[in-house]
């Protein structure tokens, strides 16, 4: 799915609901946009009557979502995009910080209205939520700059200890590779899942894990802000669409898609990505439930 020195990235960054931190960075102002009546009219009355549209994000995943310098405000690409979408749909948006693996269950339970947290749109997740695609990203590996462990692909993880965030596609990929290693008689992968990306980064920095895995923009950002302590390794893989997660069949997928297309047409979408240095992940053909696997 944002900004600071490594300490800040490690302390706050796809989210602990109780963690606060100080981050330096870019303006947290969302590019201005306004309601489009024809799109607002598509929002179901059951959603509009709530008064506030609650969007959940795991704010430990900089620069996609992270905690601002005030210690509690969620900022980043996804927060900006959620607020801009809300404006187009005539909704007041409140972005809340929650751990990643609790967001989809929270959507199912009616606790949240949207998950904007660098979710990869997958066919498995589509069984319980709907997605509107809005970005494209792969997965990258990283390790300590000094004394780190080289890997090139998932197949090289055999015998290694790998840190991942709980509930992510990275955890699934690492676990799948662990089974493959075992089936071929190779040393197993030790997968260490953490509640948020901060824990994952700390595990690599401290040497508890040899390898970290995260979405490519997030891994690159953590390395950039690490003051030389971390480095990217190997080849990124698995480019796939991010999706805004919505309660299954609640009628919001169509207006969210229409609002996103409006933001693309008026330049707001491009401005948001540029603000966080994420232009390479831009897409031009958003869709509902666009999973590739």
- 35-68 pLDDT, tens per residue? 999 999 999 999 999 999 999 999 999 999 999 9
Q: Has residue 286 been placed in a domain?
A: no
Structure tokens at 246: 């919505």
**Pair 148, 276 in one domain:** no
Residue holding tokens 């480019």? 239
- pLDDT surpassing 90 at residue 292: no
Tally of structural domains, the chain: 2
Check residue 7 and give its pLDDT.
Answer: 32
Amino acid 31: pLDDT: 59
When comparing pLDDT for 14 and 287, which is higher?
287
68 shares a domain with 103: yes
Residues 6+ apart with CB under 8 A from 218: 1, 13, 14, 61, 62, 63, 64, 118, 197
Question: Is there a domain that residue 293 lies in?
Answer: no
The CA angle 161-234-176, to the nearest 5 degrees, is 50
| 193 DSSP β-pair partners | 164
Please give the sequence-ordered ranges of beta strands (E in DSSP) within the chain, or none if there are none.
Answer: 52-57, 60-61, 65-67, 74-75, 92-97, 114-115, 129-144, 161-165, 190-194, 211-215, 230-247
Strand duo 129-144 + 211-215: pairing = antiparallel
What pLDDT is recorded for position 225? Answer: 87
In a domain, residue 69? The reply is yes
Tens of pLDDT, residue by residue over 229-285, are: 999 999 999 999 999 999 999 999 999 999 999 999 999 999 999 999 999 999 999
Residue 119 lies in a domain: yes
Report d(CA 167, CA 161) in Å as an integer: 18
Query: Are residue 230 and residue 271 in the same domain, yes or no?
Result: no
Same structural domain, 88 and 110: yes
Give the side-chain half-sphere CA count within 13 A for 50: 18
Q: Supply the pLDDT for residue 59.
A: 97
Please tell me whether residues 228 and 149 are part of one structural domain: yes
For the chain, the maximum distance between any two Cα atoms, rounded to a whole number of angstroms, is: 61
Residues 122 and 144 in one domain: no
DSSP alpha helix (H) spans, 5-161: 6-11, 37-40, 45-48, 77-89, 100-108
3-state secondary structure of 42: coil
Residue 288 lies in a domain: no
Quick one: 37 and 120 in the same domain? yes
Angstrom distance (rounded) from CA 156 to CA 163: 15
- Considering the domain architecture, whether residues 91 and 200 belong to the same structural domain is answered as no
Give the angle subtended at the CA of 269 by the CAs of 268 and 275, to the nearest 5°.
85
- Give the range of the structural domain holding residue 56, as residue numbers without chain letter: 6-133+242-281
- In the chain, % of residues over pLDDT 70: 89
Same domain, 193 and 119: no
Mean pLDDT of the chain: 90
pTM: 0.86
Of 10-19, 111-120, 209-218, 262-271, the poorest mean pLDDT is in 10-19
292 falls within a domain: no
261 and 212 part of one domain: no
Give the per-residue pLDDT at 10: 29
Is 252 a domain residue? Answer: yes
CATH of the domain at 55: 3.40.190.10
Domain membership of residue 1 (yes or no) is no
Co-location of 86 and 199 in the same domain? no
Going from the C-alpha of 262 to that of each of 38, 74, 268, the distances in angstroms are 11, 24, 9
User: Rounded to whole angstroms, how far apart are CA atoms 118 and 120?
Assistant: 6
Query: Do 227 and 145 fall within a single domain?
Result: yes
């Amino acid at each position: 799915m944002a900004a600071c020195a490594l300490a800040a990235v490690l302390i706050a960054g796809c989210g602990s609901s109780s963690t606060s931190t100080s981050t330096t960075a870019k303006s947290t102002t969302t590019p201005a946009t306004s309601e489009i009546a024809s799109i607002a009219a598509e929002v179901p009355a059951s959603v509009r009557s709530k008064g506030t549209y609650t969007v959940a994000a795991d704010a430990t995943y900089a620069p996609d979502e992270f905690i601002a310098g005030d210690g509690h405000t969620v900022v980043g690409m996804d927060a900006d995009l959620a607020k801009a979408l809300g404006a187009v749909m005539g909704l007041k948006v409140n972005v809340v910080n929650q751990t990643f693996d609790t967001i989809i269950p929270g959507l199912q339970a009616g606790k949240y209205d949207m998950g904007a947290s660098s979710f990869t749109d997958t066919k498995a997740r589509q069984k319980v939520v709907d997605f509107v695609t809005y970005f494209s990203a792969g997965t990258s590996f990283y390790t300590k700059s000094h004394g780190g462990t080289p890997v090139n692909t998932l197949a090289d993880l055999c015998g290694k200890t790998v840190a991942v965030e709980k509930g992510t596609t990275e955890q699934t990929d690492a676990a799948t590779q662990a089974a493959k290693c075992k089936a071929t008689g190779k040393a197993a992968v030790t997968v260490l899942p953490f509640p948020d990306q901060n824990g994952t980064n700390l595990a690599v920095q401290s040497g508890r894990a040899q390898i970290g895995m995260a979405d490519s923009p997030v891994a690159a950002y953590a390395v950039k802000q690490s003051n030389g302590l971390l480095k990217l390794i190997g080849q990124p893989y698995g480019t796939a669409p991010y999706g805004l997660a919505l309660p299954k069949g609640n009628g919001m997928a169509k207006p969210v898609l229409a609002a996103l297309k409006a933001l693309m047409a008026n330049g707001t979408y491009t401005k948001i990505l540029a603000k966080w240095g994420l232009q390479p992940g831009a897409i031009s053909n958003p869709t509902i439930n666009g999973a590739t696997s």
